[in-house]
């Protein structure tokens, strides 16, 4: 079953591809045929990016264990991260433009200064149905409060 989040990734990749292709097509008209190679290269790059995002979003799984939250993800290899509930500081629900359109949300789990990724969160679970995201947030926070 294809998740809506995977469709969003494909839509975003397609939009990027169309915008860049139109820009390069304009350059082709102005500069000449040498830009055809740039167009072909851009199509290949954006196609690979869209495929990679689709594979990554399709790989995300999570599990609520009695003592820990476990996230499994990965394209080329499976990565498993375990975060004890007592380390969880906050759980937020995020919704972008396309997520709002498809009634999806991402759950961001703040773990303080430990296990941070580039956006300051230990775990992000993408593109859950909004009702499921709210239930997950409530359950994680309930377990985190019990462990403190």
DSSP helix/strand/coil, 135: helix
pLDDT-derived band at 41 (thresholds 50, 70, 90) equals confident
pLDDT at 2 (0 to 100): 44
Region 85-89 average pLDDT: 88
- Contacts of residue 93, Cβ cutoff 8 Å, sequence gap at least 6: 105, 106, 107, 108, 130, 133, 134, 137
pLDDT-derived band at 97 (thresholds 50, 70, 90) equals confident
Measured CA distances, 148 to 20, 50, 63, 71 (Å): 50, 41, 20, 21
pLDDT-derived band at 57 (thresholds 50, 70, 90) equals confident
Q: What is the pTM (predicted TM-score) of this model?
A: 0.69
Region 64-76 average pLDDT: 88
pLDDT-derived band at 142 (thresholds 50, 70, 90) equals very high
Most confident region among 4-13, 17-26, 71-80 by mean pLDDT: 71-80
**CA-to-CA distance for 112 and 146, rounded, in angstroms?**
18
User: What is the token pair recorded at 109?
Assistant: 């789990």
Measured CA distances, 82 to 4, 57, 68 (Å): 26, 19, 6
Region 11-31 average pLDDT: 74
Q: Which helix (H) or strand (E) holds 132?
A: helix 130-147
**119 has a pLDDT exceeding 60:** no
Q: Which helix (H) or strand (E) holds 110?
A: strand 104-110
pLDDT at 1 (0 to 100): 37
DSSP helix/strand/coil, 60: coil
């Amino acid at each position: 079953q294809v998740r809506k989040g995977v469709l969003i990734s494909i839509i975003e990749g397609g939009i990027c591809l169309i915008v860049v292709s139109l820009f390069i097509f304009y350059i082709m008209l102005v500069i000449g045929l040498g830009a055809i190679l740039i167009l072909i290269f851009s199509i290949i790059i954006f196609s690979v990016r869209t495929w990679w995002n689709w594979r990554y979003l399709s790989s995300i799984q999570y599990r609520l264990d009695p003592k820990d939250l476990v996230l499994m993800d990965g394209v080329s290899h499976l990565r498993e991260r375990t975060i004890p509930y007592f380390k969880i500081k906050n759980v937020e629900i995020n919704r972008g433009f396309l997520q709002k359109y498809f009634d999806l949300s991402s759950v961001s789990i703040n773990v303080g200064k430990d296990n941070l990724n580039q956006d300051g969160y230990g775990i992000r679970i993408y593109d859950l149905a909004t009702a499921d995201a709210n239930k997950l947030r409530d359950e994680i926070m309930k377990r985190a409060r019990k462990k403190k």
